[in-house]
């Protein structure tokens, strides 16, 4: 199937060089922070920042499809975000609906499957309907799974999982001895996804903000100083390049990972050579 692309040739070449320079994260999770502060710094309203943030989402989704990222999870709206001013929350919900309507065909045509996690029942009815329409339309796509965390928090998901397990134990379907990491993982909203390989947070903040608290146990963290509206393809390349330099030991020692160590030692050189030869 031929996919549509709006990326420049230069961006495509950079992404191709990145793919050739080392491993690409299978699952990238992003905390897209700083829309409001970006707008304030420019003397604009917060809504202007959020709208520009949608452009970043569009570009990052397309970039991920170009380098064969399989899963992209965006922390779109947290449980705590409901405590923001009502006018801003209403604006964000309208922006969600409008963005889904505008982007649905583009997602479908580019092989992107949309999924969600969180308390969908708390969203306005029109937002729920648009999300379901997009989920239904894209459900058979396989190029990239775009997972939106909406009305979501890591603690909410863990409590929900523990309640499910407790109910099963009370009903006699499982015993306490049956509870292990695999059971807990299978009870979370992310049960159908692999744990993220890379977490990107924009705006320079150094915290998880109640996002994927169980799933990030061995995830590589990358903090970008730029605000989300400024995070585009080059920023994503920087983040993945940093990921390619990491040694993911998972409790082992370096000597047990000879192949990964060798790949990491040459990745930067290969990437620089590929880019400078363009």
Number of CB atoms found within 10 A of residue 160's CB: 14
pLDDT band at residue 273 under the 50/70/90 scheme? low
Average pLDDT over residues 7-11: 92
What total number of domains does the chain contain? 1
Instruction: Please give the pLDDT value at position 254.
Output: 72
- Asked if residue 75 is part of any domain, the answer here is yes
d(C-alpha 97, C-alpha 127), whole Å:
5
> Given a cut of 80, is residue 251 above it in pLDDT?
no
Contact predicate 205/32, CB 8 Å: no
Q: For residue range 65-109, list pLDDT tens digits in order.
A: 999 999 999 999 999 999 999 999 999 999 999 999 999 999 999
Going across the sheet that includes 27-31, the strands are: 112-117, 144-152, 71-78, 27-31, 198-201, 220-223
Domain annotation covers residue 158: no
Q: Measured between alpha carbons, how far is 246 from 115 in angstroms, rounded to an integer?
A: 29
* Within a domain: 184: no
At 186 the pLDDT is 98
Say whether pLDDT at 278 is over 80.
no
Give pLDDT tens digits for 118-150.
999 999 999 999 999 999 999 999 999 999 999
State the burial class of residue 7 (Cβ atoms within 10 Å of its Cβ: 0-12, 13-18, 19+).
Answer: middle
State the pLDDT at residue 49. 97
Instruction: Read off the pTM.
Output: 0.90
Asked whether residue 179 carries a pLDDT value surpassing 60, the answer given is yes
In a domain, 40, yes or no: yes
Is 174 within the bounds of a domain? no
Residue 269 pLDDT grade (very low, low, confident, very high; cuts 50, 70, 90): low
The answer to whether position 31 is within a domain reads yes
User: Does residue 105 lie in a domain region?
Assistant: yes
pLDDT at 268: 46
Instruction: Check residue 64 and give its pLDDT.
Output: 98
Is the pLDDT confidence value at 187 over 50? yes
Q: What is the CATH number of the domain that holds 202?
A: 3.40.1180.10
pLDDT single digits (tens) 201-243: 999 999 999 999 999 999 999 999 999 999 999 999 999 999 9
Answer yes or no: is pLDDT of 263 > 60: no
The mean pLDDT value for 158-168 works out to: 98
Reduce the secondary structure of the chain to three states and give it as a string: CCCCCCCCHHHHHHHHHHHHHCCCCCEEEEECCCHHHHHHHCCCCHHHHHHHHHHHHHHHHHHHHHCCCCEEEEEEEEHHHHHCCHHHHHHHHHHHHHHHHHHHHHHHHCCEEEEEECCHHHCCHHHHHHHHHHHHHHCCCCCEEEEEEEEECHHHHHHHHHHHHHHHHHCCCCCHHHCCHHHHHHCCCCCCCCCCCEEEECCCCCCCCCCCCCCCCCCEEEECCCCHHHCCHHHHHHHHHHHHHCCCCCCCCHHHCHHHHHHHHHHHHHHHHHHHCC
Residue 112 falls within a domain, yes or no?
yes
The set of residues, in sequence order, having a beta carbon less than 8 Å from that of 104 and lying 6+ positions away, is 133, 134, 137, 138
From 81, 168, 195, 230, the catalytic residue: 81
So what's the pLDDT on residue 178? 97
Calpha distance 235→225 (Å, rounded): 10
What percentage of the chain carries pLDDT values higher than 70?
90
| Average pLDDT over every residue of 25-49 | 97
Rounded-to-integer distance, Cα 276 and Cα 183, Å: 48
Domain that holds residue 62: 9-153+193-245+253-276
Active site residue 106: no
Please tell me which residue in 33, 35, 147, 157 is annotated as part of the active site.
Answer: 33
5 band by pLDDT with thresholds 50, 70 and 90: confident
Determine the Cα–Cα distance for residues 98 and 50; give it in Å rounded to an integer.
12
CA distance 15 to 167: 47
Confidence of residue 270 (pLDDT cuts 50, 70, 90): low
**How much is the mean pLDDT over the chain?**
92
pLDDT at 150: 98
């Amino acid at each position: 199937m031929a996919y549509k692309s709006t990326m420049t040739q230069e961006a495509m070449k950079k992404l191709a060089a990145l793919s050739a320079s080392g491993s690409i994260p299978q699952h990238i999770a992003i905390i897209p922070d700083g829309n409001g502060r970006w707008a304030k710094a420019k003397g604009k309203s917060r809504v202007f920042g959020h709208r520009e943030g949608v452009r970043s989402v569009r570009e990052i989704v397309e970039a991920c499809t170009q380098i064969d990222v399989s899963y992209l999870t965006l922390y779109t709206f947290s449980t705590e975000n409901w405590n923001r001013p009502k006018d801003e929350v209403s604006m964000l919900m309208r922006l969600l609906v409008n963005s889904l309507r505008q982007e649905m065909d583009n997602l479908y045509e580019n092989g992107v499957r949309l999924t969600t996690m969180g308390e969908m029942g708390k969203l306005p009815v029109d937002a729920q309907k648009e999300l379901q329409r997009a989920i239904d339309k894209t459900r058979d796509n396989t190029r990239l799974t775009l997972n939106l965390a909406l009305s979501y928090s890591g603690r909410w998901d863990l409590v929900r999982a523990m309640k499910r397990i407790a109910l099963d134990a009370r009903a006699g379907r499982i015993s306490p001895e049956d509870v292990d990491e695999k059971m807990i993982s299978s009870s979370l909203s992310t049960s159908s996804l692999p744990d993220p390989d890379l977490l990107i947070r924009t705006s320079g903040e150094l915290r998880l903000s109640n996002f994927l608290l169980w799933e990030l146990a061995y995830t590589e963290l990358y903090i970008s100083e730029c605000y989300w509206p400024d995070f585009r393809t080059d920023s994503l390349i920087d983040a993945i390049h940093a990921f390619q330099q990491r040694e993911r030991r998972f409790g082992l020692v370096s000597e047990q990972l000879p192949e990964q160590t060798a790949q990491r030692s040459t990745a930067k050189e290969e990437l620089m050579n590929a880019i400078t030869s363009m």
